[in-house]
Amino acid sequence: MEVYAGVDVGGTNIVCGIVSSAGEVLHTIKRPTESSQGPEAVLERIAVMIEDTLQIIMDQTSSIVEIKAAGIGLPGLVDPEEGIARFSGNLGWRNLPAVNWLQNRLKLPVFIDNDVKTYVYGEAMYGAGQGTRHVLGVTVGTGIASAMVNDGKLFYGFRNMSGEIGHIVMDGLDDRCPCGLQGCLETYASASGMVRQAKKLILAGERSILRDWFEGDRLAELSAADLSRAYDQGDSLAIAVLEKAGKLLGRALSYAVSINSPEVIIIGGGGALAGERLLGPLKQELLQHILPDYREHLKVVPAQNNDEAGVTGSAMYAKEKYSSL
């Protein structure tokens, strides 16, 4: 049996999976990234995870399974052509020749790309975007990023830097972003941004059930899931934060729609677990600010394979690259 390895590398965890040539995830494992141990330790962990996952599949099937190629989704700036991780703040990497190291270690073809691009590729080809030609995917997590898939091909732009939608500067936002700009979309509308805004309002004296749930120092434990829980109980602060985040996302996406004309927009990542609490105001704001013809044909949907899209996308990205060698 011929398979492909897909690896989704995050700042906290690494998820590795073995995927069939048809895009079926056969098995996955998750382990801590532990980036503080250095880049070579992380690369070795990736290699061991690929080997361990393959061994599990062979033990389960009692057959020989051959990995044709491996795809790795990495956070930050990635040069897929040179096989170099240019910069990752989450991992502390700079100009790391990841492909060369992993190919020497694993003795098989390895391909890397930005993790959002591989995630969106997985959703476009094997998830919520199946059957459409032009897909815009957006991940709402610690930050906000996007990728565009046209006719099964990822769009990269100059220097592979397309998709930084989280750094669109929005009117009415004044928080300084770590990137250096002031008022970036992700300072408010990312999952971490929404939590940060809720904490600010609570500390400023706003009334909220969250104040009772997280008294004193426990406020640091507040999460995006807690905002959704408070929203469902009619908490005005949680409702205001989620609705504003949704509207900001909708306005930013209206710009992307006018430029890229996608058939479908897929919303994924941890923040998207808020569901219609976030997507409702997002769609309302988006539809108010695009041309009528876009409005009649555009679909906005949640990710279908939120947990496995990164693995599937990385593996199938590797398959596509391998087939063109």
> DSSP H helical segments within the chain, as ranges?
39-61, 98-106, 115-126, 186-189, 191-203, 209-213, 224-232, 236-260, 276-288, 292-297, 309-323
CA atoms of 32 and 43, how far apart (whole Å)? 12
CA dihedral 86, 88, 93, 99 (to 10 degrees): -50
CA atoms of 289 and 85, how far apart (whole Å)? 37
CA atoms of 85 and 95, how far apart (whole Å)? 5
Q: For 188, list phi and psi in degrees, rounded to 5.
A: -120, -45
CA atoms of 7 and 49, how far apart (whole Å)? 9
Pairing of strands 66-74, 2-9: parallel
Q: Answer yes or no: pTM beyond 0.85.
A: yes
pLDDT means per 10 residues, the chain with 325 residues, are: 94 94 95 94 98 95 92 93 90 94 98 96 95 96 93 92 94 91 95 95 95 92 96 97 98 97 95 91 97 94 90 96 88
Of residues 121, 139, 134, the one with CA closest to residue 321: 121
Q: For 57, list phi and psi in degrees, rounded to 5.
A: -65, -45
Per-residue pLDDT, 92: 87
Per-residue pLDDT, 259: 96
Pairing of strands 25-32, 66-74: unpaired
Which residue's entry shows tokens 């749930």?
Answer: 213
Domains of the chain: 2-123+307-323 (3.30.420.40), 132-302 (3.30.420.40)
Per-residue pLDDT, 307: 79
End-to-end CA distance of the chain: 20
CA atoms of 16 and 29, how far apart (whole Å)? 5
CA atoms of 320 and 297, how far apart (whole Å)? 29
